[in-house]
Amino acid sequence: MNQAPLLMLGIFAALSTSWFGLVVWPQIQLGALKPVEIEETGEIYPSARPGLAQQGAEVYRANNCAACHSQQVRPGADINRGWGPRRTVAQDYLFDAPVMLGSSRIGPDLANIGARQLDDNWHLIHLYKPRLIVEKSSMPSYRFLFTKRALDAGAKPSPNALKLSPEETKRLEGYEMVPKPDALALVAYLRSLRADAPLFEAPLPAKPGLKPAKLSAPSTNSPAKK
Ligand code: HEC
C-alpha cells in the first residue's frame, strides 16, 4: 500500500497544530491587549515611554544588561524579596519592543527599579563605578558612558558632572566625570521601569489591617456583620 498520502497528512497535521498553538492561540489570547484605565487613579496603564527613556531602552539592549537582569516579577518569593508589589503580567510589556525579560538573575530584577530607586545621581554613580555605592558589587563598571573632563584650577564643577564623594573627587585629581547622553538616556529608561499599577488580573495584595474596598453599589441581600 502507498503510505505517502498518509505520511503527508501526518506532516501537515503536525505543522498546522504547532502553528495554531504557537502563533494563532497566543494571538487570540494576547493580540488584542490595550491600555486600561486604572480605577483608583483614573490613569491609563501602561503608557508609552517618553522619548529619552525610549532611547535608553536601546542603550540597555546594546549593553546587554538583560544578561544579568530580569524584568519579570513572579508571584511568591520574588514579591517577598521586594522586587515588585505584584506579579508581572503581559499587559506590563505592551509598549516594549523587544521585551527584555532576561534569562538569568546575577543582579536584582529591574521590573520595578523606577519605583525603588528615584535618585538619578545614584544610578549614574552606580553605572560609573558600582562599588562606590554598593560594597563588593559584582556589576561591571560602565565607565565608557562618561567623559573625563579637566577642571581648570579654581573652576566650579559643571552642573551635570557626577556628584562624587570627597575621596573620589580627590582621586580624580582636577578632573570631573560627565555623563554622556547615552548614560542619561539609560537612567531615564531605568526610572521608567515600573510595573506596579493595580490591574484586574494582578491586583495589589491587600495591606494587612486594611478593610476590603467597598462595593460601588450597596448590596441589600448580604447582612452587615457586626
Ligand atoms: C555581569 C552582570 C551584570 C551586568 C551585565 C549588569 N549588571 Fe546591574 N547589577 C549586577 C549585580 C550583581 C547587581 C547587585 C549589586 C549592585 O547593586 O551593584 C546589580 C545591580 C544593578 C542595579 C541596582 C538594582 C537594585 O535593586 O538596587 C541597577 C539599577 C543595575 N544593576 C542596572 C544595570 C544596567 C542598566 C546594566 C547595563 C548597562 C547592568 N546593570 C548590567 C550585575 C550586572
The predicted pLDDT at position 208 comes to 55
Average pLDDT over every residue of 126-142: 95
Q: Is the pLDDT of residue 212 over 50?
A: no
Of 55, 60, 69, 127, best ligand 1 pocket probe by most atoms within 8 Å of the beta carbon = 69
Within 8 A by CB and 6+ apart from 136, the residues are none
Average pLDDT over every residue of 110-139: 94
68-95 pLDDT, tens digit each? 999 999 988 888 888 888 999 999 999 9
Burial code (b: 16+ CB inside 10 Å, e: under 16) for 68-86 equals: bbbbbbeeeebeeeebbbb
Instruction: Tell me how far apart the alpha carbons of residues 148 and 125 are, in angstroms, rounded to a whole number.
Output: 14
Does any ligand 1 atom lie closer than 6 A to the CB of residue 188? no
What grid cell was written down for 123? 544610578
> Which has the higher per-residue pLDDT, 155 or 102?
102
Cis peptide before 218 (omega within 30 of 0): no
Does any ligand 1 atom lie closer than 6 A to the CB of residue 134? yes
Q: Is the pLDDT of residue 226 over 70?
A: no
Does any ligand 1 atom lie closer than 6 A to the CB of residue 121? no
- For a pLDDT cut of 90, what percent of the chain falls above it? 65
* Mean pLDDT, the chain, whole residue set: 88
Name the amino acid, one letter, at 106: I
The predicted pLDDT at position 196 comes to 87
The predicted pLDDT at position 207 comes to 63
The predicted pLDDT at position 225 comes to 40
The predicted pLDDT at position 215 comes to 43
